[in-house]
Structure 1
Amino acid sequence: MLSAQQEALNRGLVLPRYYGEDRLVLLPRDPYCIFAYWEITPATRERLRERWGEEAWNQAFPQLRVVKQNPAERVEESFEVTIQAEAENWYLTNLQPDCYYHLELGWRHPAAGFQPVLRSNTVRTPRDGISDLIDEEWQLPDWKSRKLYRRISLFHLSSPELFRRPKSKF
C-alpha cells in the first residue's frame, strides 16, 4: 500500500517538451566540453522565413557560433559548427579549460553569411588542474603543519606501540 506522498510522486506528471519561448542555454560539462540546448518557436521560424524569403530560407543551414571571450567580454576568437536542422541540443568538445564562452545560434546563407538569431548565457569552463590560489587566511603555520603531519602519518611510532591500547582516562 502506497502512502499519499508516494502516490503523489508516482502520478507521472510530465514535463512539457517545449515551453513556447525562444531560448539558448549553455552549461559547462567539464574543462573541455560544454552542452547547449535551445528552443526556437514556430512563430520565430516563420518570421525568419518571411523576412528572408522562401528561397533564401531553403538555402540557409543552422549553425552554432562558439565565441571565446575574456573576462572583460571582449571576443578573443570564434568558430562555427554546422548542426542538423532538427537538433535541439549539442555538445561542443575540444574547448580550452578555464575560459569563458558563449554561443550564438543562427543560420548561414551563401549570400548573406551567418545571421544570428539567439545568444546564450556566458559560461566558464572549469580548470583542469589544481587551483593556483592559496587562501592564506586558512594556511597553517609550519610548526602546526609538521605537528599535524606527525599525528596523521604515525611515522614516529614503532610496531609494538601501534598495537598497545591507550589507557582509559576514566
Structure 2
Amino acid sequence: MELPRHYNENRLVLMIQEPTVIFSYWELSRGQWESLGEGRPLFLRLYTTGLNQGGTILMEVSLPPFTNDWYFRDVFPEYIYQAELGYYEPKGEFYPLLRSNQVVTPRTRTVEGVARFLKVETVIRVDTDEDTVEDEGEGTAFWGGYSSVDLPHKS
C-alpha cells in the first residue's frame, strides 16, 4: 500500500533533530492554497517562548516556492520554540495561517574524563549455546570484542 503524497490538512510540525537544530514541515489544504491566491510568498517564523507568555521572534524565513520543510540551525539548547507559517498583507501586517506544536531543545553536556573501552572475551559452549567460563575443551568457541564504560558527567 502506497502512502498518499498529501493529506489535504493544515498542519505545521516542529521536531528536534539536535540540541541546536529544529526541523519543520507543513502542509496546507487545497482550500487554504486557493484562498491565498497565486504568487503570494509565505514566511516561516520561529519564536522562543516561555510557559504562559508570548513569544519573541528569533528567525523569519521567506520561503522559496514549492517548499514544505525547513531546518532552523543554530538555535539555543534548553529553550522552548514554536513556529508560525503565514504571509504579509500589502500594508505590512503579518497574518499567521498555521501555528506549530511547542518543542524544547535538549541541553548539551560535556563529558569529563577519557572514554575507556574494556576488552571482553566470552567462551561459548557450542553444544548448549550458553555463555560460560568453564573448561575450554571440545565444543567451545570464543567471542572477543570491546565494551564501553559509562563515565559520570556534570548536569
- Please, what TM-score do these two structures have when normalized by structure 1? 0.59
Question: Which structure shows the bigger proportion of residues in helix conformation?
Answer: 1
What runs of 5+ residues in structure 2 fail to find an aligned partner? 111-155
Q: Is the 8 A contact 2:43 2:87 kept in 1?
A: yes
Aligned match of 1:82: 62
Q: Within 5 A, what are the aligned runs for 1:141-152?
A: none
RMSD between superposed Cα atoms in Å: 2.4
Q: Is the 8 A contact 1:70 1:76 kept in 2?
A: no
Aligned partner of residue 61 in structure 1, secondary structure: coil
> What amino acid sits opposite 1:40 in the alignment?
L
Residue from 13, 16, 19 that aligns with 1:31 = 19
In 1, distance between residues paired with 2:62 and 2:16? 20
Which whole-Å deviations, capped at 9, do the CAs of 1:83-104 have from their partners, x for residues lacking one?
Answer: 1121011111110001000100
Aligned partner of residue 52 in structure 2, secondary structure: coil
Aligned partner of residue 84 in structure 1, secondary structure: coil
Aligned match of 2:145: none
In 1, distance between residues paired with 2:95 and 2:65? 15
> What amino acid sits opposite 2:91 in the alignment?
A
Residue from 101, 122, 129 that aligns with 2:102 = 122
> What amino acid sits opposite 2:95 in the alignment?
Q
Task: Return the index of the structure with the highest Cα Rg.
Answer: 1
Tell me the number of residue pairs that the alignment of Structure 1 and Structure 2 aligns. 113
Q: CA 1:99–1:26 in 2, change beyond 3 Å: closer, same or farther? A: same
> What amino acid sits opposite 1:44 in the alignment?
Q
Q: Does 1:19 align with 2:7?
A: yes
Aligned match of 1:141: none
Question: Which structure shows the bigger proportion of residues in strand conformation?
Answer: 2
Q: Does 1:91 align with 2:71?
A: yes
- Deviation of the 1:78 alpha carbon: 3.5
What runs of 5+ residues in structure 1 fail to find an aligned partner? 1-12, 50-56, 131-170
Q: CA 1:107–1:76 in 2, change beyond 3 Å: closer, same or farther? A: closer
Q: Is the 8 A contact 2:45 2:57 kept in 1?
A: no
Which moved further from structure 2: 73-82 or 96-105? 73-82
Aligned partner of residue 33 in structure 2, secondary structure: helix
Q: CA 1:77–1:90 in 2, change beyond 3 Å: closer, same or farther? A: closer
Q: Is the 8 A contact 1:22 1:39 kept in 2?
A: yes
Aligned match of 1:113: 93
In 2, distance between residues paired with 1:106 and 1:16? 25
Q: Is the 8 A contact 1:105 1:119 kept in 2?
A: yes
